[in-house]
Each structure stands twice: as structure tokens, then as C-alpha cells.
Amino acid sequence: MAHVLLLHGLAGKAAVWDPVAAALPPRFSRTTPELPWHGMADPAWAHRPDPARYVVDSVWSGHDVVVAHSMAANLLIESYADRRVRPRPTVLVCPFYRPEPAGFDWPTISYYLNDFHRTFSEALRVGETARFPEARREWLARSLRDQVGPYGWTRWFETYLRTPFLDLGAVDAPVLVVSGVDDVAARPDDGRALAKALPHGRFELLDGCGHFPMIEQPDRLAALVRDFFDESLELT
């Protein structure tokens, strides 16, 4: 029996992992915590620096493997690199990464600031709200953006900006990076570059998928997770 920890991203929720968890074999027990930045949560979580502390508190020694999405994936890999959490076999789903500081320019900031709601629009388009009219989904996406607020956005973007400076050599565990070819938030090039920079990184690109593979292709993602963890745990 292996214990897997599943961490959701910014404005997500623990239940986003339900389809993947249901497709995993019984030999994987699981923990899916509700993180402080879930859904329409109180934005006060972002009023203090170091959001990685919430991820550090979520990972304990009994977690054999971890799956983390989006911002949580970044905070997890940062916690590994900073030696605040012991690296273990991990799947990072749609993480953000730039290998060099020069990869960030003003158009990058403008896109992620002014079009921040687009990621939430995608989540609403493929999730349980897909049945809603587009105008209502757009209103909900902007409501989520407003709930996250400037502090939440800043905490997320600071995390992204720190990625070129991470000591990825400290991540001495196998890591599978999964990206969606149609992701409007975390570019597939980000995931590919991160996997290349990790000592034991591997990259998988999912066709016909955006920023939420756990919703769009849960069976395929679950198969990747299962096979990767089976192989990794045999090696460890």
C-alpha cells in the first residue's frame, strides 16, 4: 500500500482530484487536503509571505508519493529545492517554470495580470459548470479572480518569478512533469524545461488537454500516475 498526497492549485478544491483518485488502483490510499487558497476562500492566506509553508505543513513522512497541480506544484518543488520537505516520487501537473530570469518580460507580466481570469474560465468550461451559459461562466471566472485578489495573484506570480533560482539539484527523487498542449496558463515549454532541469525529471505532454488534465482526461492522468509511481517505488 502506498499513500499518495494530492494537492490542488489556486482557487481549486480537493474534490478536483476525485476522478483521478477513483481511477487509481486500491493499492494507493490517498489524502486530499483543502488548502487555504481553495475556491472562494478567505484571501487572507496571501497577506503574509511564504505560501509554501502551507504545503510544508501538508506533507508528512507517511506520504510515499505526491501529486500537485499548478501553484501547489510550484510550491512543492520549491519546498524540495529549499530542503524544507524531503523529496519523494512526485507528479507535477501543469507547473510554471522559467529557466532564466530573462524569460520574464513586460508582455509576460501583462498577460498574466490582465488575462488572469482566463485560467478560471478554462476550469469552468471543462468542469461541472460546463452546462452554464458562457456569459455566466465568464462572470464566475472574474469573480474567482476578484476573490483571489491582488495579494493572491502576487503570491502566485512571486512563486513563478523565483523559479529560475531554485536549486533543483537538491530534488534527488524521480519527478514526472505533465503538461497539457492547450494550456493557456502554464505553457508546455515551462513543463518541458522543468523536467529537463530536474536530476530525475521526465516529461509527458497530453494532447487535447489544457490546464486541468485531472478533469479533462482523468483516466489517462491516473494511468500516468499509477505507472510512474509503481516504477519509482520499485527503484526506492
3-state DSSP assignment of residue 236: coil
> What average pLDDT does this structure show over 207-226?
97
- CA angle centred on 101, ends 99 and 105, rounded to 5°: 115
Within a 10 A sphere around the Cβ of 23, how many other Cβ atoms?
Answer: 16
Half-sphere exposure of 88 (CA within 13 A, CB side): 20
Q: Are 161 and 186 in contact (CB under 8 A)?
A: no
What is the reported pLDDT for 197?
Answer: 99
Tell me what the mean pLDDT of segment 149-160 comes to.
98
Strand partners, 5: 31, 66
136: pLDDT strictly greater than 80: yes
pLDDT band per the 50, 70, 90 thresholds, residue 41: confident
Over range 195-204, report the average pLDDT: 99
Exposure string (b/e) for 35-47, b if CB count within 10 Å is 16 or more?
bbbbeebebebbe
Query: How far is the C-alpha of 117 from the C-alpha of 59, rounded, in Å?
Result: 29
With 0-12 / 13-18 / 19 or more C-beta atoms within 10 angstroms meaning exposed / middle / buried, residue 234 is exposed
Q: Determine the straight-line distance between the first and last CA of the chain, rounded to whole angstroms.
A: 14
Query: Considering Cα of 86, then 92, then 98, then 100, what sign does the dihedral take?
Result: positive
Collapsed DSSP state (helix, strand, coil) of residue 57: helix
The pTM assigned to this predicted structure is 0.96
Asked whether the predicted pLDDT for residue 235 surpasses 80, the reply is no
State yes or no: pLDDT of 108 exceeds 60: yes
The model's pLDDT over 47-85, given as tens digits with 9 standing for 90+, comes to 999 999 999 999 999 999 999 999 999 999 999 999 999
**pLDDT given for residue 104 in this prediction:** 98
Domains of the chain: 2-235 (3.40.50.1820)
pLDDT recorded at residue 40: 83
Collapsed DSSP state (helix, strand, coil) of residue 85: coil
pLDDT for residue 236 is more than 60: no
List the beta bridge partners of residue 16.
Answer: none
Beta bridge partners, 31, equal 5
State how far the Cα of 64 lies from the Cα of 48, in Å rounded to an integer. Answer: 30
